[in-house]
Amino acid sequence: MIIEKFLNKWILFLLLIIPLCGLVFEEPYYITLTTKVIILAIAGIGLNLALGYCGLISFGHAAFFGTGGYVTGILSFHALNDELLFSWPIEFFGTSEMLIIWPIAILVCAALSFIIGLLSLRTSGVYFIMITLAFAQMLYFFSISWPTYGGEDGLSIYLRNSFPMVNTMDPFTFYLICLVWLVIALFVSFKLINSAFGMAFQAIKENEERVKSVGIETLKVKLIVFVISGTIAGLAGSLYTDLNRFVSPSVLDWHTSGEIMIFVILGGMARLYGPIVGAAFFIILEQTLGAYTENWQFWLGLILILEILYVRSGILGLFDKKKNNE
Amino acid sequence: MTSILFIEQLLNGIQFGTMLFLMSAGLTLIFGVMGLINLAHGSFYMIGAFCAALVAGITGSFWLALGASLCGAAIAGVLIEILIIRRLYRRDHLDQVLATFALILLLSEGVRWYFGAFPLYLSIPDSLNGTVPIFSEIIYSKYRLFIILMGFLIAVGLYLLITKTRLGIRIRAGQNDREMISALGVDISKLYTVVFALGAALAGLSGAMIGAIQSVEVGMGEPILILAFVVIVIGGIGSIKGAFVGSILVGVTDTLGRVFLPDLLKIFMQPAEATAIGSSIGSMLIYILMALILITKPSGLFGKS
């Protein structure tokens, strides 16, 4: 455990030092890369709550990640073209203010994860996995066939949305904004996990029947966790659109769900910092292997299979002697 | 005129449904007998299509190509079962999902590596090219009719296999109580390999048959894999009968929805809007169907609760 804590500090340190070096040596590429790791890690932190701590194997978190992304893209698109988004109850032309976009993205994703959760949580086991997958695919096909916002080609927003007093087009500024969100996401999950409510949802992962027998409405608990989890992923999606200044149906694709899941598993399930390690490892792998071969996903697949068959505890788990001896 | 179009599209839906059945029968068998969620099932669909395209390119014979798709996918199935899948049966669903997802990455990139990124083409043999009159005014593609026929033949064959043969008895016994049949002296690991290879072969065959209508390319198995999941969720996981009913239901709903929903909406909407909304909702229709069925029957139409 001590090594793991030490490692966690190192990870945060690296997330700070790499962009700083990028700033000093004028290599904005590394700042953007770190920002990408941070955003993907936020999505992973969201999924980790449902998957790692509560045992809800959602294979459809791309639905929330992508919806967050599309909400941001659409609002900004309307603001850019000065086009009416809706006229009731007030006339609304979209917005390019992050401070307005975030709450809207959060609300939409919370509502969506509430609906999907309500329907999916009626089932369990394999059915749950496949249904969450199917709902995400439904949105994916919808995004492809809906022509207004680019359909298959995606939607460009050209300029990053704005934040009061700062220039978000500056990579370092945008990195800092994302870093703040990462800290908030970590803080929220830390508080949740250690609360009475957190005890309840972690107990559900171990034995749902027993939790029921002490009088806790497990369905309600699971639904709340699912909504929080989806909302965090949605927020990450919103930041992701701003990072790329582009959103396309690929954020809703099931490969995205799989990748978010990979961040959680590679880093180590039910570990607070796991998704950060997983996302960082994934991006490093993509960058290094991708430089040598076009088929880097072949090696990613191989590494993943070996990890699942033989290591099983994620990267952080390797440093956790206590767990390994169990 | 519309009734001709309707029957034509209905047949298209059934044709799509029978191919979905070949995919979902394997998936549901593998889940029912081994308790394994196999996301990599779509990869066998792809492997079958590529084997067929390869053999058709060399020999020029469509029938040999179909045989190659069956054998190629079955061999790939046996190898992958022995090397990887076998270790996953005792794991939880999450490990299975991830390992088979990783397997998709591995197989897709492997095929891309070997064959390149360009799609291959598989042509329909001359004897099945062209159309054939069905009723008085309706003419329909021979090849699609052949697919429907093959699908039904295989469905009957599977039914006979499962109900009438020794292997079928073992498969059913495996679905009910794995430990008991291994205690009775059945070599359970060989049975698992056979079931897995059977599922892979069916997927490969459907890949080759669809590959002749569409193109043979990397990633072709993924859309149909997810549809096959929808099918087995609707039909009830583990039930072959459910897979059959679900396949036809999904195939017909999807095809008819995409074709007729825009026209239907045009009655009370602007044509442009109706086309846009109709096609978007049409593509979501089967998922809505799935949600409706799950609300009323959470374990599918023929699933055990």
In angstroms, the CA A180 to CA A184 distance is 6
Higher model confidence: residue B63 or residue B275? B63
Whole-angstrom Cα distance, residue A65 to residue A44? Answer: 10
Average pLDDT taken over every residue of chain B? 88
Interface test with B, best of A118, A120, A141, A263 (most B CBs within 10 A): A141
Find the residue in B nearest to A264 (Cα). Answer: B98
Average pLDDT over residues B258-273: 82
In the predicted structure, residue B130 carries a pLDDT above the cut 90: no
DSSP A20-59: HHHHHTT-HHHHHHHHHHHHHHHHHHHHHIIIIIT----S
CA distance A136 to chain B (A): 10
pLDDT at B295: 78
Phi-psi region for residue B130, left (φ > 0), alpha (ψ -120 to 50) or beta?
A: left
Label residue A220 exposed, middle or buried (CB < 10 Å: 0-12, 13-18, 19+): exposed
**Could you tell me the residue ranges of all domains in chain A?**
2-325
Q: How far apart are alpha carbons B215 and B106 in whole angstroms? A: 21
Q: Between chains, do A301 and B291 touch, taking CB under 8 Å as contact? A: no
B304 touches chain A (CB under 8 A): no
Residue identified by tokens 């459907």 is B206
Closest residue to B103, CB basis, from A122, A142, A305: A305
Q: Which amino acid is it at B178? A: R
Cis ω for the linkage preceding A89 (within 30 of 0):
yes
User: A265 at the B interface (CB within 8 A)?
Assistant: yes
Q: Is B191 on the interface with A (CB under 8 A)?
A: no
Over residues B163-222, the pLDDT tens digits come to: 899 988 888 888 888 788 888 888 888 889 999 999 999 999 999 999 988 889 998 988
pLDDT of residue A40 exceeding 60, the answer is: yes
Contacts of A305 (CB under 8 A, 6+ apart): B84, B99, B102, B103, B106
pLDDT of residue A322: 52
Structure confidence by residue, pLDDT tens digits, B65-75: 999 999 999 99
Reported as a pLDDT band with limits 50, 70 and 90, residue A325 is very low
Instruction: Decide if A266 contacts A260 (C-beta within 8 A).
Output: no
Q: Which of residues 137-166 of A touch B (CB under 8 A)?
A: 137-138, 141-142, 144-148
- Tell me the C-alpha distance between A297 and B109, whole Å: 7
For residue A173, the distance in angstroms to the closest alpha carbon of chain B comes to 35
| Lookup: tokens for A287 | 């960058």
**Chain A partners of B101 at a C-beta cutoff of 8 Å?**
258, 261-262, 304
Helix segments in chain B, DSSP class H: 2-34, 41-59, 62-83, 93-115, 142-164, 166-176, 178-183, 188-211, 221-235, 240-266, 271-296
Give the chain B residue whose CA is nearest to the CA of A295: B109
